[in-house]
């Protein structure tokens, strides 16, 4: 079946450093790639998303890049802060058209040390 | 406005009992999803409702799991004859339906199910 692989599973950085999380997907029809942040005990919340018609999107300290040929996309967080510590999930839409169905990666636990 | 809500927030049950979990999506959202999140794991897709279309049940792990959505709004996930491996957080999400475009899914706070 379709799947999304996410790496690394854990990531520890010093405050102010950059963090990069990478995902690969298998469905060539995927056209929507959101990233969710989940703080401990809380619900996942969308932080940024990208559609297949663009290669990069940036929102302040967060950016996402997409390589459709290689079927991978990455999350970049610059100038990390302790409040960035959380679990981050990537996801990819499944199938062409608007099924809305997402397949999620296994998550990356990011720890930002002050 | 109000976000996605779920009830109960916590449910402890004994093995073999049936449980019902409820999800109230954001008003106007025609798409509704159920996920399961085991401890320290990712989000496992269970089932998806879109408008009046037949639901996508491809993620349900066994025939003990079922879900319905009444009136295109509230949804109930039912687990029959619960097993200990059913213990997890069950998350519901809703989104606006678009034409050939997937949209942001808004998650509820989840129901933590513990099967003793």
Q: What is the pLDDT at residue A89?
A: 97
pLDDT class of A7 with cuts at 50, 70, 90: very high
Question: Taking the alpha carbons of B78, B84, B85, B91 in that order, is the dihedral positive or negative?
Answer: positive
Residue A114 CB: number of other CB atoms within 10 A?
8
Whether residues B102 and A102 touch (CB distance < 8 A) is answered with yes
Interface test mutation site (partner B, options A43, A100, A101, A106, max chain B beta carbons within 10 A) = A100
**Other C-beta atoms lying within 10 Å of the C-beta of residue B112:** 16
Per-residue pLDDT, averaged over A11-37, amounts to 95
- What SS3 state is found at A39? coil
Per-residue pLDDT, B54: 85
* Mean per-residue pLDDT, A31-47: 94
Search chain A and give the residue with CA nearest B108.
Answer: A43
Residue written as tokens 């996801």? Answer: A91
**pLDDT tens column, A72-109:** 999 999 999 999 999 999 999 987 655 678 899 999 99
**DSSP notation for chain B:** ----EEE-SEEEE-TT--EEEEEEPPTT--EEEEEEE-TT--EEEEEEEETTSPPB-TT--STTEEEEEGGGS-EEEEE-S--GGG-EEEEEEEE---SS---PPEE---EEEEE-
- Cβ–Cβ below 8 Å for A98 and B48: no
In tens digits, chain B (116 residues) has pLDDT values of 589 999 999 999 999 999 999 999 999 888 999 999 998 788 999 999 988 888 889 899 999 999 999 887 999 999 999 999 999 999 999 998 655 566 789 999 999 999 99
Substitution target from A30, A38, A43, A51 for chain B, most B beta carbons within 10 A:
A43
Torsion from C-alpha of A41, A45, A47, A50, nearest 10 degrees: 130
């Amino acid at each position: 079946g379709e799947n999304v692989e996410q790496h690394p599973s854990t990531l520890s950085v010093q405050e102010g450093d950059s963090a990069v999380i990478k995902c690969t997907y298998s469905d060539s029809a995927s056209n929507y790639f959101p990233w969710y942040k989940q703080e401990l005990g809380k619900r996942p919340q969308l932080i940024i998303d990208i559609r297949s018609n663009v290669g990069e999107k940036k929102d302040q300290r967060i950016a996402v890049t997409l390589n459709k040929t290689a079927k991978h996309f990455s999350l970049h967080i610059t100038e990390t802060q302790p409040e960035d510590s959380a679990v981050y999930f990537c996801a990819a839409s499944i199938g062409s058209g608007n099924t809305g169905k997402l397949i999620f990666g296994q998550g990356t636990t990011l720890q930002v040390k002050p | 406005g109000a976000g996605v809500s779920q009830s109960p927030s916590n449910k402890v049950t004994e093995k073999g009992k049936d449980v019902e979990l409820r999800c109230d999506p954001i008003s106007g959202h025609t798409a509704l999803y159920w996920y399961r999140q085991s401890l320290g794991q990712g989000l496992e897709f269970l089932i998806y409702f879109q408008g009046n279309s037949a639901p996508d049940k491809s993620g349900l792990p066994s025939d003990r799991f079922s879900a319905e959505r009444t009136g295109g709004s509230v949804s109930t996930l039912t687990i029959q004859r619960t097993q200990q491996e059913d213990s997890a957080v069950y998350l519901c999400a809703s989104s606006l339906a678009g034409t050939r475009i997937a949209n942001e899914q808004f998650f509820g706070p989840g129901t933590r199910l513990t099967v003793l």
